[in-house]
Each structure stands twice: as structure tokens, then as C-alpha cells.
Structure 1
Amino acid sequence: MTTWITVCDTCKRDGWDAETAGQTDGEVFADLIEKASEGRKAIAVRRHSCLMGCNRACNIAIQSKGKLAYTLGEFDPTPEAAEAVVEYASLHAEMETGVVPYRQWPQPIKGHFVTRHPPLPDK
């Protein structure tokens, strides 16, 4: 089953300047996550304008049907952070419930979890 990484492409971190930046921080992060996820089975990436976590930019969501979903934030749009997001999403895809044991979390993902959501009921 596919685990989706939804990246807020409108995120702007403190100090973002429309006059000097060619892209939002969210667009930069989305580009990096898309690149990091190339060739990964069971991972898909999509962009969404505004996950409503503006004070915690950059934000992403990790979701899959029938599994716990997570919102994460306060990422710097770096290759290291993008790789960690993709690695965590890959682990999420492998787990039946979406719960990844803490000891398996990539270090750069720790401290970025904002919310956890139960799966939607089938009925």
C-alpha cells in the first residue's frame, strides 16, 4: 500500500523574502522530497497549498489508507531533512498500522512531530 507524503508548498519560514527568493521554502522542500523519493516503492509525493501550520514551516503530512497519519513541521528545507522524511515514510509504508518504533526513526525526524491522526473508519 502506498504511503503519501504531502508537502505544503506555500510554507515560508521566518526571514523568507519574496523579493529575493525564487520559490517558497515549501516549494524548495517539495523539490528535495520529490528527488529523495525517486525510485522508492510504496512512496508517493504530492504538493498541497497550505497545511495551516504556518508558524511551524516547513510542514508535511504522512498518510496511508487504514494507517495512523502524522503531521510534522519545523523543517529546514535541506537534503538531509528530505531524506529523513522519505526514510520515515518508507518505514511507515512497511508497518501494518503505520506506527514506526521510535528506535527506527531517522535522527533528523525526531522533534518534528506535531499531530497523529487515527485512520478514517471504513463505515
Structure 2
Amino acid sequence: MLTRVDPGPAVVVCNTCRHSREAQVDAAGLRGGARLVAALHVVRAADPRYAGIAVQEMACLFACADHCTVHLRAPDKVGYVLGRFQGDAESARAILDYAVHYAASEHGRVPFSLWPEGVKGHFITRTPPPGFVAE
């Protein structure tokens, strides 16, 4: 049921997420999560700034009311679930830009002034790392 992955900074993408709140798949029959995974891989490969951020995928993050969801995590940092993205390069770039700041932060808190416009309004939850609670 569990697969070991690199424990470093990662964007974990729900590869089964709906295309939108209204539709499970897009006009081509693809789920939004599958499109977002593909876009994240393409954008990550094209820019060396993203080399320290893994793109990992799994089926269902259980955030079904908020399509195209990702979980941002790193050791000893607060984690975040974000959603309501498009499965496109613009969303992928915003997620990865935020992830770079997140990975560089001490505890997972990124100053709002550094948030890419494309992630504002997309946060769903924050989760403390094992053994901690957040202030």
C-alpha cells in the first residue's frame, strides 16, 4: 500500500483528481490530476531552479471537493495541501516556484510577499510534521 520515495522536498500530486468541480475528465478524456502531473514534469525538467523539488504522484489525496490537488512536504516542515488548479504549465510553474521558496524556508513558512500569484487562494490545509504542532 505504501511505496518508499525520496523524503526530501516534494510536490505530491493526486494523479486521479477531477479536471474541474463539474467534470471528471476534460474534452480529451484526461483527468486534471494526470494533466497536472505531466505539466509539473515538463516545467521541472526545463528549469534547473526546480532540481531540488521532487514531483511524486499518488492516487487520491481525498480532497475531491477541490480538484487538481497537491501536497507540498519536506522533512521537519509544515506541509500544505493546495487545490483547484488547472492541469497546465502556468499552474505547474506557480506550484514549483512556491515549492522552491518552501524548500529554502526554515519551517515551511514562506512570506506572503514571495508567494507566486498562481498559488494565492489555492491553500486547503496545513499539516504539522510528525512530532510537532505549528504555532
How high is the TM-score relative to the length of structure 1?
Answer: 0.90
Partner of 1:105: 115
Residue 25, structure 1, aligned to residue 43, structure 2: no
Equivalent residue of 2:72, what SS?
strand
Aligned length: 121
Unaligned runs of 5+ in 2: 1-6
Residue 34, structure 1, aligned to residue 41, structure 2: yes
Partner of 1:15: 23
Partner of 1:66: 76
1:17 Cα shift? 4.2
Residue 85, structure 1, aligned to residue 92, structure 2: no
- Structure 2 counterpart of 1:3, one-letter code: P
Unaligned runs of 5+ in 1: none
How high is the TM-score relative to the length of structure 2?
Answer: 0.83
Q: Is residue 80–residue 126 contact of structure 2 (8 Å, CA) maintained in 1?
A: yes
Identity across the alignment (%): 32
RMSD value over aligned CA atoms? 1.8
